[in-house]
Each structure stands twice: as C-alpha cells, then as structure tokens.
Amino acid sequence: MLENSKFCISFKFSGTQRHCPRQRPAARSCSAICCSLLYKLSLLVLLCVLGLLLLQNNSQLKTVEPLPTARIFCIISTFDFRHNSVAVHTKRTWSKKCDHHLFVSNDAHEEVEPAVFAHINDKWQQMRAQLEYVYKYHFDEGDWFLYINDDNYVMVENLRYMLHTYSPEELIYFGCKLRSETNQAYMYDRSGIVLSSAALSQFVLRAMPNQTICSPDPQGYAPYEELGRCLSNVNVLPGDSRDHLGYHRFLPFHMKDYFIGSLNYSLPHHKHFLDRSYYGLIDFKVPISKQLICTKMEYMPNIYNHYYLTYQVKIFGTPQRTLVNEIQKHPN
C-alpha cells in the first residue's frame, strides 16, 4: 500500500497528478460480525438483569423497614414471696422487650425494683391502685398498657403486630375473653389484659371515681370480672384478640395443656375457662395461633429456654419473616 502511494505521487500525466485509488478496508467475516453482535447483546441482557436485581433489592429493603410501632408499657404484678423464685426470671428475659416496664408488688426488692403497694390485701383494690399509679406517673410512656402476671411469658413483638390495626385512642382492651354468669365480657386474669391509653384514661378518670358503675369494695376471686364491668360502663369495648383464622393468641394455661390432648374438666382452672369461654371450642381443644402473644409458665427456669428459642435461635433454610410481610399477608 505504501509503494502504491509513492508511485501515484511521483508520476504525472499531462500536468495532472494521478489520483490514487481509495483503499477498501478488509472485509470482515460473517462470523466476526455475529460474535460482536452476540457480545453486545449479552452485555445488554446482563445490564437488564442487574437492573432488575437492583430494583428487587430496593423493594426488599423497603419491605423490612420498621413500621411505626406502638409503645408497650408492661405492668408486671408480683408479690414479695415470688420475687426470687419468679419475678427475677421475668425481669431478665421478656420484660426487656417492652418499651417500658414496671413491676408492682407489696414489698421492695433490689433487682426487681417494683413500685410498692403495701397493706392492700384484695387483688381488685391492688389493681385499682396500681393502674391509677401508672396513669398518674407513667401515662406518657406508653400507647398500650399490658397488665400481666409475673409467671406469664409474653412475645411483645406479636402484641405489637396484633395492635397495628388499632389506635390507642380507641376505647378498647384485649386478652383471653370470657363471659360472666351475667353475660358480661371480661378478660381472664391468667393471661393478662391490654388496655389502650384511652381505655386506661377512662377507667381512672371516669369509672374509678363513680362507685355506682365501678365498685371500690373487695372482689375476692373476681377482680377481672369487676374490671370488665367498670370498663363496659365507660364504653370501653372488649376486643377480639384471635388471629385471622380464629386461633387464640392469649393462652391462660401451660403449653403442654394444649399440646397433650385437650383441656380437662376435672381441673378447676380448665373448668372455669371451658364454662366461660367467649368463643366456642370443639372437643375441649383451644386452637393456638402462630402469632402467640402470651402463655403461662409452669417451671420458671424454663423461661430462659423460651427466650432462647424465641429470640436467639436461627433456623437456616427458611425464609426470613418480617412484621411488614405478615401485615401484607393478613392485613386484618
């Protein structure tokens, strides 16, 4: 090619310079063109896949963003003779999951640090004094107030999940719902009560001062029945704490009572529940929700097993569940 150029420049014909013929590029083979196109196409496909993965990842990141959560204030009832054998174990485990918690007792204890209500022997009068105290000194610390026994085990996150469709401004409360002999709905004391902030306010400000709608007298073994009556008289509704399948979230007995056979009429607590359950049961069996909130501990040191299995064990090969995922599946 270089020699041809020199030849063209050095010779002229009739004073006119000879023009060199334009050089044609070497023809590209068909296979080279196909390879180039395939390479570009594969790059385009790869970019599309990466873009889709990025969008999916962003969507998943949005899915696991924490929802605005209700503040749970836990009021844990105990007694001096149970401080070391029961209350300390609750203090060291699930109580830490509450936004705020307060033990209430009849005597002081260094680790449990309860608010002390001495010289009040009747359970109903204790409860009145304790709820009034929480309203006066801790009302701004919670949206919902869980009144619970020291030998219960509570999954506070599941309680928040249940409450996400409700407002603390609603006049409502939850628990294991029973029906009294006078057909009055109330919550079983063996699995706790959850009061909205509005319900607690109504109870303290309207029900307690009015003896005609809320008795200050001792109630013996029926304090929660009287609480149900007081709340009903100030228009606080007893809510349905079951899940979307009608399975129970608040369990007033030990877990083995549900897994091994059915409830037993010969046991007083079982009989009380079976006779008064607000919802019908088949063959004395209580269907247990996968969104369990509360159960009863039989042997308190086992609470550490519950806590470990609930919050620390990771099960590999199973999809991660989040609160938002569950809400999207079962919005009601």
Per-residue model confidence as pLDDT tens digits over 141-162? 999 999 999 999 999 999 999 9
Domain count, the chain: 1
**Residue 313 lies inside a defined structural domain of this protein:** yes
Please enumerate in sequence order all residues whose Cβ is within 8 A of that of 49, keeping only pairs 6 or more positions apart, or say none.
Answer: none
Please enumerate in sequence order all residues whose Cβ is within 8 A of that of 275, keeping only pairs 6 or more positions apart, or say none.
Answer: none
The pLDDT of residue 96:
96
**Residue 39 lies inside a defined structural domain of this protein:** no
In sequence order, what are the beta bridge partners of 193? 147, 175
- The DSSP letter of residue 214 is S
Question: Minimal CA–CA distance to 147: which of 245, 231, 246?
Answer: 231
Least confident of 32-36, 170-174, 321-325: 321-325
Residues 248, 301, 127, 74, CA torsion sign: negative
**Residue 65 lies inside a defined structural domain of this protein:** no
Residue 253's domain comprises 72-329
Residues 162-212 pLDDT 10s = 999 999 999 999 999 999 999 999 999 999 999 999 999 999 999 999 999
Cα 212 from Cα 193, distance rounded (Å) = 23
**Residue 228 lies inside a defined structural domain of this protein:** yes
Report the CATH number that the domain containing residue 230 is assigned in CATH: 3.90.550.50
Residues 227-261 pLDDT 10s = 999 999 999 999 999 999 999 999 999 888 887 77
The pLDDT of residue 325:
55
The pLDDT of residue 317:
78
Contact 120, 96 (CB under 8 A): no
The pLDDT of residue 133:
99
* Inter-helix orientation angle 223-233/123-138, to 10°: 50
Helix residue spans in 144-297 (DSSP H): 156-163, 197-202, 223-233, 255-259, 268-276
Mean pLDDT of 67-74: 84
The pLDDT of residue 28:
54
**Residue 49 lies inside a defined structural domain of this protein:** no
Given a cut of 80, is residue 51 above it in pLDDT?
no
**Residue 55 lies inside a defined structural domain of this protein:** no
Helices first, then strands: H and E counts in the chain:
11, 14
